[in-house]
Amino acid sequence: MPILGIIASAISGNLNSYESIATTTVGSGGTSSITFSSIPATYTHLQIRMLARDNRSSGASNLNVQFNSDSGSNYTGHNLQGNGAAASVGFEGASQTSIPIMRISTTNIGANIFAGGILDILDYANTNKYKTTRALSGFDDNGVSGGQIYFMSGVWMNTSSAISSMTITPVTTPIQQYSSFALYGIKG
């Protein structure tokens, strides 16, 4: 089975360098957050593969991430987005309390339309530099209201800690049932 993802395109040689760490699927009633904890510091990078939607009644929404329960103003992020008709860029601002990582579909987009996304967390265990994220996400709704694609990047401004946990939350409403999140460790 081929490995998909942003980092995979740069890997040569042994493609068995991805190891599954944890997977979760949202149950009935949805959830207000997804947490991965006790992440070992034995990999070079981390990757999360996501299928998600929330029950917001208008527009699309974002998922955000915080590391190691840090809710301080220690994050920043950027995005590039397109919808087939126009493109735009955005700066989330310095001193944010989380990083946007995925554009997700909502109930107004259409029934059973989930967004797909891949988040790479680079050098997550390195305590000599800030932790960098990059994510690609989007969805297609078969022309109902226009699909969207997002490229997001961010920084957790912390050099004292390896990432050992992360919490993913939606901007407003709960993540819906059947949304799925898989965390992988990348060896090299």
- pLDDT, residue 2, reads 47
Asked whether residue 58 is domain-assigned, the answer is yes
- pLDDT, residue 1, reads 41
Asked whether residue 152 is domain-assigned, the answer is yes
Asked whether residue 21 is domain-assigned, the answer is yes
- pLDDT, residue 106, reads 75
- What are the DSSP calls for 45-77, one per residue? EEEEEEEEEE--SSS-EEEEEEETT--SS-EEE
For the chain, how many structural domains are there in total?
1
pLDDT in tens, the chain (188 residues): 445 555 555 555 555 689 999 999 999 999 999 999 999 999 999 999 999 988 777 666 889 999 999 999 999 999 998 887 888 898 777 889 999 998 887 777 777 788 899 999 999 999 999 999 999 998 887 766 667 889 999 999 999 999 999 999 998 889 999 999 999 999 87
CATH of the domain at 182: 2.60.120
Identify the domain containing residue 172 by its residue range: 17-186
Asked whether residue 167 is domain-assigned, the answer is yes
Asked whether residue 122 is domain-assigned, the answer is yes
- What are the DSSP calls for 93-124, one per residue? -SSBSSEEEEEEEETTT-TT--EEEEEEEETT
Q: pTM of the predicted model, to two decimals? A: 0.87
Asked whether residue 36 is domain-assigned, the answer is yes
Report yes or no: 38 and 183 within 8 Å, Cβ to Cβ. no
Asked whether residue 10 is domain-assigned, the answer is no
Asked whether residue 133 is domain-assigned, the answer is yes
- pLDDT, residue 186, reads 96
- pLDDT, residue 77, reads 92
